[in-house]
Every structure is written in structure tokens, then in C-alpha cells.
């Protein structure tokens, strides 16, 4: 495979698009620095999710706390930062789950999943443009709520968490 | 919530970007018609996956057979069409799984998951720009292969399929 070349063709506020060429093949690619999402379980064995308006989805979605990597940031550091900002949860024992491409046909985003347990509750500190409603479920009730989930990373993270108890460990 | 307005700001070959405004809120959105992915199990109880070069991911990925909705196409029809094109599999008993937003922060894509069983094998008919390697695993070996999966929809679909046997039905 020859070395790829990239040409920026759209530079937006949140989204950049490049044409990437590999020899005689080319693709339009939405640039992305990578992302993190956290299955966040506190000392009371409740999971915290965030409900927020998602313009691309046409309404509110219930999601794992998640966010985008800042320049040069390690995924675990980003996950701890985003979790604290969005939910006020901190501390705890952290384990690393799979990293998966969310939409590899057209976007470079790699999503790193984490499991954090024994988290301590505190005050959230959302950024100005973020409005969250926090939703807490006892972990024993997650399975009954799966049908409410319309976000891919969230359904994936919850299934990986539920599978910890009867399958090979997904979080190390 | 006021009625949204959309302004197209980038029109590419495969990707369009709009600015969507809801009252005083605005977001850049990658337009997408929606997508389908299939957990495809044949009459020999083997699952078929496709391995293909994914320029945004920097190399080959192993994925569920999947594709994009054509204009006005129903998700189930798209799933049957894509599965036949990519793998040659047809017929079978089809069940509908969850529909999830893949990246609701910046893209409109809604992914419809299906489970097809008792599929008949035939000849694939890939489009000119698609090069696939087909990979077949007996369904009993899927759990041991999960660590090889780097694609979100694929890991999600496989976990939903494995969970059919010990949890509430994900595919109806």
C-alpha cells in the first residue's frame, strides 16, 4: 500500500472533510481526533447516563458520558475529564475496554470504551454549550432499559458491561 | 422546539455537510440517508463477515455485511440487497433488531440492525468499487473472536446475537 496523501476540502467549526488518496484509490473522510465513552458505576452500584438534545438525531438521546479527545490527550485522561465535566463523578477503579471505529466507511473516529466503578459523586461542570440531564439506574435494572437506548456506543457499552458477568472479560 | 432550518455548506461525492439551526442553537451535521447491517447466519450455522480496506481506519476491518439506504428504500429491503451483493447469501428467516445512531454528535446516520438465519449461499455481486474478503465462522466460535473486532456496529451486532440465548430478545 503506497503512503496516503490528504487534501482538506471542507473546514468547518466542528467538522473537517479531507480527500485521502492511497495509490489509485480515494475516499472522502470526515476528520476526527478520536473519542471516549464511559460505563460509569458509582459507589452505590448505580450507572449514570446523560440525556441531551442531539440535533443530528432530531431530539434527545440517552447516552454514556462521552466526548472527544483534545489535542495530544490520552484516551484515559480524556475519559476522566469528560466524565467529571458531564456528571461530577470522579475517582474509582478504571478498566479499559475495546476501541472501535464508529463509522469506518466515511469517518476516522475511533471510540475508546472504559468501565469505571466505585466512582464518587460530585458536582458536574458542563461546558457552556452543553445541557445535560443526568439519569441514574441501579445496575440491576440496566437490562430492562436496553430497549430505550438509541445510541450505538451506549448500547455497546451496556452490553459489554452486562456480559462481564457471564463471558470473557471485555474490560481489562 | 422551533422548526429546524438547514443550509448545505459542503457537497461532496459521498459526504454532504449542513448547518442545522433550531432556534438559537446550531450544529454542523454530516448528512446521511441511514444504513443497515446484518448478522448473517447460513443453513450450516456459520456467520459470514466481510473484510475490506477502510481508508478512514487506515487498513482492513472485519465487519458485518452492511450498506447505505438508497433513496426511498425500506431498511429490510436494503439489508437483503446489500447482503446479497456483498456475500451472495439470500432467503432465510429475518428478524429486526434495534436501530441506533452511530455518531449522533455530528452525523444523521441511523443504523438498522437485522438478524438473518437459515440463509442460502450463492455468488456475491459486489459493486465495482468494493473489494471484499468473506470470512465464515461457526456461530459457536464467535465469542472467541470478539477481540478481533474493531468496528462498532459489528461488535454490537455480535453481542446482540450472542445475548439472544440468555437475555431478552434483541431481534423481533
pLDDT in tens, A13-36: 889 999 999 988 899 999 999 999
Chain B neighbors of A167, CB-CB under 8 A: 143, 162
Which stretch of A36-50, A119-133, B28-42, B52-66 has the lowest confidence by average pLDDT?
A: A119-133
Give pLDDT, residue A28: 95
If DSSP states are collapsed to H, E and C, what string results for B137-168?
EEHHHHHHHHHHCCEHHHHHHHHHHHHCCCCC
Nearest CA in chain A to B55: A27
Task: Report the sign of the C-alpha dihedral through residues A110, B51, A9, B5, in that order.
Answer: negative
Q: How many CA atoms lie within 13 A of A125 on its CB side?
A: 11
The Cα of A61 is separated from the nearest Cα of chain B by a number of Å equal to 8
- Plot region of A57 (φ>0 → left; ψ -120 to 50 → alpha; else → beta): alpha
**Residue B31 CB-density burial (10 A; 0-12 exposed, 13-18 middle, 19+ buried):** middle
Nearest-angstrom CA–CA distance, A134 and A124: 10
Distance CA A114, CA A109 (A): 16
In 3D space, the residue among B102, B112, B26, B34 whose CA is nearest the CA of residue A53 turns out to be B26
- How far apart CA B18 and CA B6 sit, in angstroms, is 6
ipTM, two decimals, is 0.94
> How many C-beta atoms surround the C-beta of residue A139 within 10 A?
18
Q: Tell me A70's DSSP state.
A: P
pLDDT band of B126, cuts 50, 70, 90: confident
Rounded Cα distance, A39 and A161, in Å: 7
Option in B101, B163, B167 nearest A151 (CB): B101
| Lowest-pLDDT range of A64-68, A94-98, B21-25, B64-68 | B21-25
- pLDDT for res B1: 53
More confident call, A108 vs A1: A108
Q: Is A121 helix (H, G, I), strand (E, B) or coil?
A: coil
Give the distance from residue A46's alpha carbon to the nearest chain B alpha carbon, in angstroms.
20
Per-residue pLDDT, averaged over B126-142, amounts to 86
pLDDT of A145 above 80:
yes
Strand residue runs (E) in B23-171: 25-30, 35-42, 46-54, 59-63, 66-68, 93-101, 110-119, 133-138
- Partner-chain contact A156 B151, CB within 8 Å: no
Contact B125, B84 (CB under 8 A): yes
Provide the pLDDT for residue B124. 80
With vertex at residue A146, the alpha carbon angle to CA A148 and CA A107, rounded to the nearest 5 degrees, is: 80
Closest in A104, A150, A159 to B151, CB measured: A104
Query: What is the distance in angstroms between the CA of the first residue and the CA of the last residue of chain A?
Result: 33
Residues of chain A neighbouring B105 (CB-CB closer than 8 A)? 54, 56, 68
How far is Cα B118 from Cα B136, in angstroms, rounded to an integer? 14
Q: Do A63 and B146 touch (CB under 8 A)?
A: no
Q: Which residue of B has its CA nearest to A37?
A: B103
Is the predicted pLDDT of residue A164 greater than 90, yes or no? no
Q: What is the DSSP letter of A107?
A: B
What pLDDT does A170 receive? 77
Q: What percent of chain A has pLDDT over 70?
A: 94
What's the pLDDT score for residue B42?
98
Q: Which of A78, A67, A82, A84 is nearest to A120 (CA)?
A: A84
All structural domains of chain B = 1-31 (no CATH), 35-163 (3.90.79.10)
Catalytic residue positions of B, numbered? 131
| Distance between A131 CA and the closest CA of chain B, angstroms | 12
Contact by Cβ (8 Å): A115, A94: yes
Contact criterion met (CB < 8 Å) for A54 and B105:
yes
B130: pLDDT strictly greater than 70: no
Q: Dump pLDDT digits (tens) for B4-43.
A: 899 999 999 889 999 999 988 899 999 999 999 999 999 9
Q: Between these two residues, A4 and B18, which has the higher pLDDT value?
A: B18
Q: What are phi and psi for residue B159, nearest 5 degrees?
A: -65, -40
Nearest by CB to residue A159, choosing from B61, B68, B163, is B163
- Tell me phi and psi for residue B49, to 5 degrees: -115, 165
Verify whether residue A131 is a known catalytic residue. yes
A139: which DSSP letter?
Answer: G
Rg (alpha carbons) of chain A, rounded to whole number: 17
Amino acid at each position: 500500500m503506497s503512503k496516503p496523501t490528504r487534501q482538506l476540502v471542507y473546514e468547518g467549526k466542528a467538522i473537517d472533510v479531507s480527500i485521502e488518496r492511497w495509490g489509485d484509490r480515494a475516499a472522502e473522510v470526515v476528520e476526527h481526533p478520536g473519542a471516549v465513552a464511559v460505563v460509569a458505576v458509582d459507589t452505590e452500584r448505580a450507572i449514570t447516563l446523560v440525556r441531551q438534545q442531539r440535533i443530528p438525531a432530531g431530539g434527545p438521546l440517552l447516552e454514556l458520558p462521552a466526548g472527544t479527545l483534545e489535542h495530544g490527550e490520552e484516551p484515559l485522561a480524556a475519559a476522566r475529564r469528560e466524565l467529571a465535566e458531564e456528571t461530577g463523578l470522579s475517582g474509582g477503579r478504571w478498566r479499559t475496554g475495546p476501541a472501535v471505529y464508529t463509522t469506518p466507511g466515511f469517518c476516522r473516529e475511533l471510540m475508546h470504551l472504559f468501565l469505571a466503578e466505585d466512582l464518587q459523586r460530585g458536582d458536574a461542570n458542563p461546558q457552556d454549550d452543553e445541557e445535560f440531564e443526568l439519569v441514574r439506574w441501579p445496575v440491576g435494572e440496566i437490562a430492562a432499559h436496553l430497549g430505550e437506548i438509541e445510541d450505538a456506543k451506549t448500547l455497546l457499552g451496556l452490553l459489554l458491561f452486562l456480559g462481564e458477568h457471564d463471558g470473557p472479560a471485555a474490560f481489562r
